[in-house]
Amino acid sequence: PGNAGYPASFNCEGSHDLTKVARFESYRGFLFGSLNADVVPLAEHLGESAKIIDMIVDQSPDGLEVLRGSSSYIYEGNWKLTAENGADGYHVSSVHWNYAATQNQRKERQSGDANPTMSAGGWAKSGGGFYSFDKGHMLLWTRWANPEDRPLYERRDQLVSDFGQARADWMIGNSRNLCLYPNVYLMDQFSSQIRIARPISVNQTEITIYCIAPVGESAEARALRIRQYEDFFNVSGMATPDDLEEFRSCQIGYQGSATAWNDMSRGAEHWVEGPDEAALEIDLQPLLSGVRTEDEGLFVEQHKYWQDTMLQAVAAEQAGKIPAREVQ
């Protein structure tokens, strides 16, 4: 307003304009921005993880849409906790036991349930594993015990015709949690969502989630997808509160100094360098493959990329390429 009393120097030469997004690209309808212009092209950044995005988007010839509404919540923990959690197959059957037990009781009480849920009790019993990609991206996947209860199952014949048996099996028969490092998850599992993490401080993180769905799916499939989403996700769901308490407890535990390291060697004896047989079925070329969902090798690769990125930033700062901010 004109009577606000700002000096003539205010907003001189756009000094108070919004910060320009230095690099902006899109892939399959997903928009990516960077405030730093010195980054690799998006296609190079995504690498092999783009093939997983393709299988999510190709569920409909018209792609995906974000359903109306979103949910945001803050947890008391570091952002790397959610980066690990989203691709951690080890915790599902124990941390989310209440969700699994509730779904089992529903099935027993309501034969022919109009809103069937994906089997958490049978999580990973039919197979699964992980893949680590370049740039810190990673994928956790499992084979569903009940793929016929997925909203997408109604399009199975068409997907087999369009993409072949192997890709159709991955699109319908497998759950996928894809981490686009460092702060985005594309999840196609108990339901489907975009999950975005925003670090607030070293021990506080904001999460925003959106339900996504194939464009043009039937009203019955859409209703089922939303009901499954409400069951598992949101702070009012039966799984998200479990994870948030897990994050809080872990953050408190990390304050202890007696034990300096967090062991992540589970499964090291059977990690596979490069692709395993399941990856080769869909021409996927990961850096590292895990043959079990509870294997922890994907976290090792992820944290190695984070460490390398931090060391490069320190080296650039010391070389004067990045101006060091004075701490008052």
Please, what's the b/e burial string for 240-263 (b: 16 or more CB within 10 A of its CB; e: otherwise)? bebbbebbeeebeeeeeeeeeeee
- Report pLDDT for 168: 95
Same domain for 4 and 111? no
Residues 104 and 22 in one domain: no
Same-domain status, 105 and 241: yes
Query: Is 309 found in the same domain as 212?
Result: yes
**324 in a domain, yes or no?**
no
**What CATH number is given to the structural domain containing 79?**
3.90.380.10
Q: How far apart are alpha carbons 21 and 33 in whole angstroms? A: 6
Structurally, the chain folds into a number of domains equal to 2
In a domain, 83, yes or no: yes
Q: How far apart are CA 214 and CA 264, in angstroms?
A: 36
Structure tokens at 187: 């999840």
Domain membership of residue 327 (yes or no) is no
Same domain for 64 and 159, yes or no, is yes
Examine the domain organization and report whether 31 and 159 are in the same domain. no
Q: What's the confidence (pLDDT) of residue 327?
A: 44
Residue 74 lies in a domain: yes
Q: Are strands 192-201 and 184-188 parallel, antiparallel or unpaired?
A: antiparallel
Task: Please indicate, yes or no, whether residues 147 and 284 belong to a single structural domain of this protein.
Answer: yes
Q: Which residues of the chain have pLDDT under 50?
A: 326-328
**Is the domain of 158 the same as that of 28?**
no
Is 175 found in the same domain as 34? no
Residue 72 lies in a domain: yes
**Is 325 within the bounds of a domain?**
no
- Note whether 84 and 204 are within 8 A (CB): no
Same domain, 152 and 187: yes
Structure tokens at 322: 């990045």
Does residue 303 share a domain with residue 165?
yes
Residues 235-281: tens digit of each pLDDT: 888 888 999 999 999 999 998 888 888 899 999 999 999 999 999 99
Range(s) of the domain holding residue 108: 48-255+262-317
Instruction: Return all residues near 312 (Cβ < 8 A) that are at least 6 apart.
Output: none
pLDDT at 10: 84
Tens digit of each residue's pLDDT (9 = 90 or more) over 68-110 = 999 999 999 999 999 999 999 888 888 888 887 887 777 777 6
For residue 280, give the 3-state DSSP assignment: helix
pLDDT of residue 121: 57
Phi-psi sector, 310: left (phi>0), alpha (psi -120 to 50), beta: alpha
Q: Within this chain, do residues 92 and 2 fall inside the same structural domain, yes or no? A: no
